[in-house]
Amino acid sequence: MNRRLGALKTFYTWLHQTEARGSERLPRVPDPVRGVPMARAAPLSQEEQLRLLEAVEQSQNYRDCAIVKVLLSTGIRVGELYQLHWADLDLETEQGQLRVRPGTSNRMRRLVLPPDVCKALLNLGAQVQGSSQAPVFVGQRGSMTAREVQDVVKKYALKAGLRNFTPHMLRHTYACRLVEQKVPPDKITTLMGTSAEMLLSYYVMALPVEKAPP
């Protein structure tokens, strides 16, 4: 924000010096923002992840288990998840793969699926569906919507005792796990389908939170 304010101030100064705007009054540029703490979207701890997985597994709902496990293990966006088709999955190889269609990132990417995620998708019907173009996650009226996916994840987060939870925190958790594992930055941006600028925020989130003094 301060960089943008500085750019505006420099531009208006140039306009004034060159009289490009004649006698018109130039807008006042606000003072730089100082001393504002940056809010950090804390990722889930290992213990919180286990509680969430336990809550959804106890439901014995194959669809909901697959939703939570795919989001937590791949870091894909909710909008990318509900657009998945069975043809985007490859569970016949030694390591399962998930193909994410171009969307917000505007790029195709392939992600490795851990064995427990492959099992969850097989339980959901991957062998029966094969490589069909049918949606993987189906709601009451066909392919699930973003709101339906969010409601599913929030339901189990509440059962797990997670407060102030949003489904996007699962993406943050996945990204911070990559940072902690010292995965190269260029590979993280590829896996996440995100920009280098956004990558910095994941590094900040992965930093340990300092406890307030007593």
pLDDT tens string 13-70: 887 777 655 556 667 777 776 654 444 557 899 999 999 999 999 999 999 999 999 9
Q: Is 121 among the domain residues?
A: yes
Q: Is 74 among the domain residues?
A: yes
CATH of residue 68's domain is: 1.10.443.10
Element (H, E) at 53: helix 46-58
Q: Is 7 among the domain residues?
A: no
Q: Is 155 among the domain residues?
A: yes
Answer positive or negative: Cα dihedral of 207, 209, 213, 214.
Answer: negative
- List pLDDT tens digits, range 153-171: 999 999 999 988 989 899 9
- Can you give the residue range of the structural domain that contains 72? 50-164
Residue 102: exposure state from Cβ atoms within 10 A (0-12, 13-18, ≥19): exposed
This prediction's pTM: 0.74
Q: Is 185 among the domain residues?
A: no
Q: Is 145 among the domain residues?
A: yes
Q: Is 201 among the domain residues?
A: no
Q: What is the pLDDT of residue 144?
A: 93
SS3 92: coil
Mean pLDDT value across residues 188-208: 73
pLDDT of 182 higher than 70:
yes
The domain tally of the chain equals: 1
User: Is-contact 84 138, C-beta < 8 A?
Assistant: no
Q: Is 5 among the domain residues?
A: no
